[in-house]
Amino acid sequence: MKFTAQQIATILEGDIEGDANVEVFKLSKIEEGEKGSLTFLSNPKYTQYIYDTKASVTIVNKDFIPEKHISTTLIKVADAYEAFSKLLSFYNDAKNNKSGIESPCFISETAKIGDNVYIGAFSYIGDNVEVGNNVKIYPNSYLGENVIIGNSTIIYSGVNIASETMIGNSCTIHSGAVIGADGFGFAPNKDGNYSKIPQIGNVIIEDNVDIGATTTIDRATMGSTIIRQGVKLDNQIQVAHNVEIGKNTVIAAQTGIAGSTKIGENCMIGGQVGIVGHITIGNNVKVQAQTGIGRNIKDDEIIQGSPAIGYADFNKSYVYFKKLPDLVATLNLLEKEIIELKQKYEQ
């Protein structure tokens, strides 16, 4: 897609200085700009690059005044960073504005497909599936029986959504995610083997949820695994059966949440966190990366470590962790002196 500087200025309600007809077709950093690219300048630390950039168009703040010659066309706006972000959203929407049903793909006769839908090639839409309006399903995706997808949800390529899953409006599910696979349920037998426990529940994902690439959310043993409104899950997260994650909670990559744990609202959980099953984590909790949580956590706690302790306590303790070799050496020296004093006393 190509856009002229004038078209971009119209979208951003900005003023042009330079060639209004110059065209751009890609985005770039200001220091890596080249002909045909669009960039922006908002951080004064990068001002030096605007005089040498080869980018055809640069978005700048209205108060920017060049101190020497520049070759790039300027679009002046109130806030360059905010304007560039707005343009990224516009570009992304335009790029992903696909519609229609590609061939080959399979759509069950009992499926209900909404208006202005895109279904990519080699996708599978099972029996009694309901797909809302303005939904985009990219190639090689699988929707099992009785799946419900709300309006304006995007499902990227290679996503597997198992039967009975319910997904709300305006969700984004990235490539390789698996929603509704069996929970990890096995019962030990007397002979040491394990028998599989049927997983007959489902997954419910509410509105405005983002799910990262290759993240897995298991169906409940009974009832539902629930991801509440506004939750943001990074890539490569494991959510086990019957877990519930409260609204607007964000979780970074490689976190694992064991079965039946309840996480509250507005929590922030760092990467590589491990959470045991059957516990409750309160609202507004902050969990530092690589923390191991094995107990209930109250509202508003900030925790770190494995096993997790209070963030302030962890930082105080860490001062001593780093000094352990010196402390041990001191203890050994004191022990030696005590033994020597004892021997003298006994003589």
| pLDDT tens-digit readout, 95-106 | 778 889 999 999
- At residue 39, the pLDDT reads 95
- At residue 141, the pLDDT reads 98
Distances (CA, A) of 241 to 1, 195, 201, 202, 226: 44, 17, 9, 9, 9
The rounded mean pLDDT for the chain is 94
- At residue 13, the pLDDT reads 92
CATH for 44 = 3.40.1390.10
Distances (CA, A) of 35 to 38, 53, 145, 235: 9, 9, 50, 34
Does residue 333 share a domain with residue 292?
A: no
Does residue 253 share a domain with residue 240?
A: yes
Does residue 222 share a domain with residue 195?
A: yes
pLDDT tens figures, 47-58:
999 999 999 999
- At residue 311, the pLDDT reads 80
Q: Last residue of a domain, which of 95, 125, 152?
A: 95
Does residue 246 share a domain with residue 115?
A: yes
pTM of the model: 0.80
Q: Last residue of a domain, which of 95, 129, 156?
A: 95
Does residue 153 share a domain with residue 28?
A: no
- Average pLDDT of the residues in 227-231: 98
> Per-residue pLDDT for 93 more than 80?
no
Nearest to 157 by CA among 121, 200, 211, 130: 121
- At residue 281, the pLDDT reads 98
Does residue 209 share a domain with residue 108?
A: yes
> Per-residue pLDDT for 89 more than 90?
no
- Average pLDDT of the residues in 61-76: 94
Catalytic residue (choose from 69, 174, 241, 278): 241
Q: Last residue of a domain, which of 75, 95, 115?
A: 95
345: exposed, middle or buried (Cβ count in 10 Å: 0-12, 13-18, 19+)? exposed
More reliable by pLDDT, 134 or 346: 134
- At residue 80, the pLDDT reads 94
pLDDT tens figures, 321-343:
788 888 888 888 888 888 888 88
> Per-residue pLDDT for 309 more than 80?
no
CATH for 130 = 2.160.10.10
- At residue 9, the pLDDT reads 94
Does residue 342 share a domain with residue 307?
A: no
d(CA 63, CA 40): 14
Please say if 241 is a catalytic residue.
yes
Number of Cβ within 10 Å of residue 71's Cβ equals 15
Does residue 322 share a domain with residue 285?
A: no
Binning pLDDT at 50, 70 and 90, where does residue 33 land? very high
- At residue 307, the pLDDT reads 79
pLDDT tens figures, 239-283:
999 999 999 999 999 999 999 999 999 999 999 999 999 999 999
- At residue 256, the pLDDT reads 98
- Average pLDDT of the residues in 212-219: 98
Helices (H), 132-271: none
- At residue 322, the pLDDT reads 80
222: exposed, middle or buried (Cβ count in 10 Å: 0-12, 13-18, 19+)? middle
Does residue 36 share a domain with residue 57?
A: yes
d(CA 295, CA 28): 47
- At residue 312, the pLDDT reads 84
pLDDT tens figures, 110-162:
999 999 999 999 999 999 999 999 999 999 999 999 999 999 999 999 999 99
Residue 51 domain boundaries: 3-95
Taking each helix axis from N to C end, the angle separating 80-95 and 5-12, rounded to the nearest 10 degrees, works out to 110
The sign of the torsion formed by the CA atoms of 272, 194, 200, 175 equals positive
312: exposed, middle or buried (Cβ count in 10 Å: 0-12, 13-18, 19+)? exposed
Which pair of tokens denotes residue 322?
């780093």
Q: State the total domains in the chain.
A: 3
CB crowding 320-341: b at 16 or more within 10 Å, else e: eeeeeeeeeeeeeeeeeeeeee
Please name the amino acid found at residue 40: F
- Average pLDDT of the residues in 293-301: 96
Does residue 148 share a domain with residue 290?
A: yes
Binning pLDDT at 50, 70 and 90, where does residue 19 land? very high
Does residue 198 share a domain with residue 76?
A: no
Does residue 155 share a domain with residue 105?
A: yes
Beta bridge partners of 205: 167, 227
Torsion of CA 208, 213, 214, 216, to 10 degrees: -10
> Per-residue pLDDT for 92 more than 80?
no
- At residue 327, the pLDDT reads 84
